Structure 1
Amino acid sequence: MFFRNLTLFRFSPAVAADLDRLEEALGGHRLRPCGPLELSTRGFVPPVGRGEEAALIHSVNACTWVSVGGEDKLLPAAVVNDELQRRVRKIAEEEGRKVGGRERKRLKEDLLNELLPRAFVRSSRLSAYVDRKHGWLVLDTASRKSAENALTQLREALGSFPAVPLAPEEGPRVLMTDWLATGRLPGGLALGDECELRDPASNAGAIAKCRRQDLDAEEVKEHLRNGKQVFQLGLVFDDRMSFVLGEDLVVRKLKFLDVVTEELGDSHEDAAAEADARFALFTLELERLLAKLEEWFGLPRPVDG
């Protein structure tokens, strides 16, 4: 269950105390199947196991894992529009008149009512966990929209969940540009093998993307001398995990290195025991990384009141 991406929010100790009722709150917001005339549904699904009897939360120490599930009808707009045009032409040919805007809208609604019950359904899930001790909400996505949608589901279930986006006191772009330019990185942190550099003066400015590249190379330094800044930077933390950190402080391409995965072993009694072990190891490793992000970029936890 190791996450591949991390979008982060923070919450206060008072909010953490309110999360004691999370399991009860999610119970009334399970994912239900799409109805015949629904385009999509959202709700919570068990992070471990399947079925109505499976729990909607999985907790280890102060961290609680939840999953937001979704069902979406696959009804391509091109298919709908082609069939709508066919029906409009048929009316024009058989009745000798043009179809007005209001009638076209009604025809489209009728068409959707016909097609939706027969559409394929695509299932999805987005995992997240809350660290009540340190005030982090961690979502396994690099998409701000997907993260906000999942947060909305949590807020609807709880009635209120004032988790806030990160507000760094140190500019991530400036700080990461200095790391790359000088090679002076915080202890335990090393450069990876990719970066994205942009001219910050213009949205249409030049972009340089490096993959599988020695970031100490002269050609990378030349981009920096020409005014480009770091928008994404590959990093390795304590020789235990690698990732790409964005100037939005979204962690992408997170990968635990062999030294971490080897600690899991393969002697777990059952799937639940394995899930416990993986989640405990994962959250413990991330606890150290998130503490360092807080230190490097100035990400104070919100205070109560």
Structure 2
Amino acid sequence: MTVFPKNLLVYKAKEGFSITEEDLKCCLSDFAFVDCGPSDKAKTGWLSPFSTEQMYHCHGNQDFLLKYCKQERKINASAFNQMLTRTVSAMEEEDGRPLNKRQKDQIRDELLSDILPNALPVNDYINLYIIESGKYIAIDSANHNKAETVLALLRKSLGSLPVIPLLGDTPAETVITEWVRSGETPAGIVLGNSAKLKSILDDGPIIGVKSADLSSEEIQAHIAHNAMVREVGIDFQDRVAFSLTDGMQIKGLKFSDEIKDQNEDIPKEDVLARLDADLALVFGEIKTLISTVFSSFSKAK
């Protein structure tokens, strides 16, 4: 179990909106996760982050951790379609006529109901961080669709969730391209050695570089010929490293040993205390990223 995120998508709430501990205490239990039944293909819901009775974990008075779970019975689509084709062909041969769409759909549903109870369920967990009573919400995912699914459950749980992706005034691709072109970045932000570039032309190739000097003539030439930086590696304050995309996704987030070692003095058997202490570090770093990295896009001209 870890509270350190690997990816982050950050959302900002409408001014005046807030989430309190009382809101979570009252609303989350109605949407608690329940395992798939024999005929269920998928189930979603909230789990206790720290395997306690509470469906959330409160750090301080304004920061909360939630744990989303999706359980899905995985069926190999290719194998299932082959089985469906064989079954339909056999029935058509037996009847001496082609089956219509309604009949094929009925066969598909019957096959699915037979297979589902024996399909092994797979769980997918996503942590959600509520920051400053909901002023910001950060989700441990680099996939916008997955993040929106988690937000949809929180919106359904609370009854309202007026949030939008946290974006700047200037398109992110414009800002990070200028960082790479000029080599000048805001204080605390150091460019790494990886990037993805793409030509502004619709059929232009995507160029990925790793372990490279981003100030090299080759990279600068691509930018000079109308390539935009779509993703760039960043080392932030020697504390966290990640890739930042033109969609404001933080991917491959790695916390430094300096951060992770801060709580080594807490006994390993005191699991909850260690998790809470680690969570305090996580909230602190997310807030710093928001106030420093994300704000750079609003200030860029």
**TM class by smaller structure:** over 0.9
Matches within 5 A, 1:286-305: 286-298=286-298
**Pair 115,273 (structure 1): closer, same or farther in 2 beyond 3 Å:** same
Match status 1:92 vs 2:92: yes
Q: How does 1:77-156 map to 2 (within 5 A)?
A: 77-132=77-132, 135-156=135-156
- What SS does structure 1 have at the residue aligned with 2:16? helix
How has the CA–CA distance of structure 1 residues 89 and 134 changed in structure 2, closer, same or farther, with 3 Å as cutoff? closer
Question: When the two structures are superposed, what TM-score results if normalisation uses the length of structure 1?
Answer: 0.91
Query: 2:47, 2:69 within 8 Å by CA — same for their partners in 1?
Result: yes
After TM superposition, the structure 1 = structure 2 runs for residues 2-13 of structure 1, keeping only pairs within 5 Å, are 2-13=4-15
Say whether 1:163 aligns with 2:163.
yes
> What aligned pairs does 1:246-261 form with structure 2 within 5 A after superposition?
246-261=245-260
Tell me how far 1:164 sits from its aligned partner: 1.3
Q: Which range moves more in the overlay, 121-130 or 170-179?
A: 170-179
Offset at residue 258 of structure 1 (A)? 1.9
Per mean C-alpha deviation after superposition, the further-off stretch among 145-154 and 183-192 is 183-192
| Count of paired positions | 295
Q: Does the CA contact (< 8 Å) of 1:71 and 1:123 recur in 2?
A: yes
The 3-state SS of whatever aligns with 1:5 is coil
Distance in 2, Cα, partners of 1:226 & 1:89? 55
Deviations 1:180-206 (A, max 9, x none): 11111111111111011111232x212
Which stretch has the larger CA shift, 245-254 or 80-89? 80-89
**Could you tell which deviates more after superposition, 145-154 or 247-256?**
247-256
Q: Which residue matches 1:31?
A: 33
Give the stretch that moved more between structures: 119-128 or 12-21: 12-21
Cα contact 1:13–1:132 (8 A) shared by 2: no
Letter in 1 for 2:27: A
Task: Output the CA distance in 2 between the equivalents of 1:93 and 1:158.
Answer: 54
Deviations 1:122-161 (A, max 9, x none): 1111111110257110000000000000000001111111
Matches within 5 A, 1:163-242: 163-202=163-202, 204-242=203-241
TM-score with structure 2 setting the length = 0.92
Structure 1 position 89, deviation (Å): 2.6
Query: For residue 28 of structure 2, what is the amino acid of its counterpart?
Result: L
Asked if 1 retains the 8 angstrom alpha-carbon contact of 2:17 and 2:134, the reply is no
Look up the equivalent residue of 1:57 and give its one-letter code: Y
Q: Distance in 1 between matches of 2:239 and 2:186?
A: 15
Q: CA RMSD in A?
A: 1.8
Q: What is the percent sequence identity of the aligned residues?
A: 26
> For the residues of structure 2 that align with 1:271 and 1:171, how far apart are their CA atoms?
42
Shifted more, 86-95 versus 240-249: the winner is 86-95
Q: Which amino acid aligns with 1:119?
A: A
Other structure's SS at 2:98 match: coil
Instruction: Structure 2 unaligned segments of length 5 or more: list them.
Output: none
C-alpha distance in 2 between matches for 1:227 and 1:270: 55
